[in-house]
Amino acid sequence: MNKFTNKNIKKENKSMIKRMIIFILILIVSFGVGAWEQKKIKDINDNITDLNSIIISDQDKTDKKTYVDINMIPYKFAVSNETTKSFYIVADENYLYIAYMAPSDFQKLNNKEIETAPVRIEGITKTTSEEIKKLAVDAYNKGLEKEKQITLGEFNSYFGSVYLDMTTNITTETALMTCAYVVLALVGTLGTLTMIIKIISLKSRISKIGTELIEELDNEMNDENAFYYEKLHLYLTNKYIINFSGKFIATKYSDVIWMYPYEQRTNGIKTCQAIKIMTENGKVHTIATIDAVTKAKKEMYNEIWNTIASKNDKMLLGYTKENRDEIKARKKNKKDLV
């Protein structure tokens, strides 16, 4: 790039380097977010407490990571109105508890072997509503003699004021950080690699250009009559189309044999518009890519199209059947000559 004196070419190079630095910074930030996330998860895992200890403590009992080593098949007594998840009565060796779980969790626990080989369930503590308390008391009292039944006021003494919610991710508070880490890491990595490839590719192509051609292109771009389209990374000079969007390509107008529009659509909606040019050697290059077809960009697109078309009255214009047939015929004639 330093072989050119043109200020806009130098600006392009600096812009790519700046973008690469930004992507590297994003990648570094992602590492920091990832480290914070892992520390938070470790803290949560290190501070897990059995449910009974939380119930009998004098501290806040909700939203704590907890576990119970149950030794009985969970007994379902209430189903959520909004989901297929249900409330169950569970027990360890000493106490009864309330647990909220999905059908898939229950299926794993619905095994008589649990009575001799307790299974640990984990989740987050949630405050038990009065409705659930009443349903649990009714389920507990079912089939018991009057003197053995419990009242709603005795619920906390038997089950505690909180239940174990197995459906809430025990690392919910880190979920946002996990998402942010993944997004930042992907953006940073892909962006950095893309910019490195672009910079290397650009410098590699320019290094292969002879000194005389570089001087000619430099003079062309520095000419006051040259048109520079910064957002499209394109120069239209007196003799050349100079495109440095990704790949540095300098094409003489006189070498263009066919020019046609290109559109990309998603669900029928135009999302991208560009110009394709084919040179005498049969190579096709894409220039003037517009990612959002606004009125201003459309005018710029038309200006580029008309400028190129005016420089060579022999080039074929448009993606018509006649032009496609003509190109096929020219290719066939070249093969026949070989």
Domain carrying residue 234: 209-337
In a domain, residue 259? The reply is yes
Helix (H, G, I), strand (E, B) or coil at 58: coil
List all residues 6 or more positions away from 63 whose beta carbon is below 8 Å from its beta carbon: 124, 125, 126
Tally of helices (H runs) and strands (E runs) in the chain: 9, 15
pLDDT tens per residue, range 184-226: 999 999 999 988 888 887 777 777 788 888 899 999 999 999 9
Query: Is there a single domain that holds both residue 161 and residue 260?
Result: no
37-51: string of b/e by CB count within 10 Å (b at 16+)?
Answer: beeebeebeeeeeeb
Task: Find the CATH number of the domain harbouring 74.
Answer: 2.40.50
In a domain, residue 34? The reply is no
DSSP result, 229-273: EGGGTEEE-SSEEEE-SSS-EEEEGGGEEEEEEEEEEETTEEEEE
Domain count, the chain: 2
Task: Find the CATH number of the domain harbouring 323.
Answer: 2.30.29.30
Is the confidence at residue 276, as pLDDT, over 90? yes
pLDDT tens per residue, range 244-262: 876 788 999 999 999 999 9
* pTM strictly above 0.75: no
Q: What are phi and psi of 277, to 5 degrees?
A: -125, 135
Overall average pLDDT of the 99-125 stretch: 93
The residues pairing with 284 across neighbouring beta strands, listed in sequence order, are 278
Given 169, 190, 222, which residue is the final one in a domain?
Answer: 169
Query: Is there a single domain that holds both residue 261 and residue 310?
Result: yes
For residue 311, CA distances in Å to 41, 220, 227 come to: 65, 15, 14
In a domain, residue 266? The reply is yes
Query: Is there a single domain that holds both residue 213 and residue 325?
Result: yes
In a domain, residue 189? The reply is no
